[in-house]
Amino acid sequence: EKDLEIAKGAYAPTLNGFFQYGARYSDATQPLPDGKGGVFTPGFIDQLWIFDGISYGAQLNVPIFNGWSTRNSVQRSRINLEKSKLQFEQDKLDLETTVNQRYVDVTTFAKAYYAAEKTLEARRLAYDYAKERFDVGLMNSFIFSQAQSRVDNAEADVIRTKYDYIFRLKILEFYFGIPISLD
């Protein structure tokens, strides 16, 4: 919006002023003012006073047509303003989409964490049954070690899904402006 106002400012006339002082030195000889044909060369300091000059003035510029450049500049600024507004709206939509996706991520990882806990409960129960069967000799050690391995994997899945869920939750909180804390 400020760029548009600046571009519109080019429609206003401008007034410029200037002031200049100058002096010069010349090696050329000068005729004597008495008219007898003699010549003389004034000294350096004298010439600075003799050949000094002052110029000053003002200049008024009124942009009537100026090749339509002002009008075109204003039109470009209007177009850029509209592009900026559209980009802002697109950014808002992108942010909304991102926040919605993060919410879906949180709910998905919460369900995955809940499922991992249920799987761990089932694996522990299966391990307890396998241990009873192993203790009475109805199961060999290989199958019993597989039951123990399944419990270990289920515990690792619970830990992994828990921290994935917490991480996604912290990302969502960040998007809502809640400061990140490790509580």
CA separation for the pair 150, 121 (Å, rounded): 11
The mean pLDDT of the chain is: 88
Average pLDDT per consecutive 10 residues, the chain (183 residues; last block may be shorter):
85 89 77 67 75 88 78 90 95 94 94 97 96 92 94 97 94 86 68
Task: Give the model confidence (pLDDT) of 76-102 as tens digits.
Answer: 999 999 999 999 999 999 999 999 999
Side chain identity at residue 108, one-letter code: T
pTM, to two decimals = 0.56
CA separation for the pair 133, 8 (Å, rounded): 90
Q: Domains plus CATH for the chain?
A: 2-64 (no CATH), 91-175 (1.10.287)
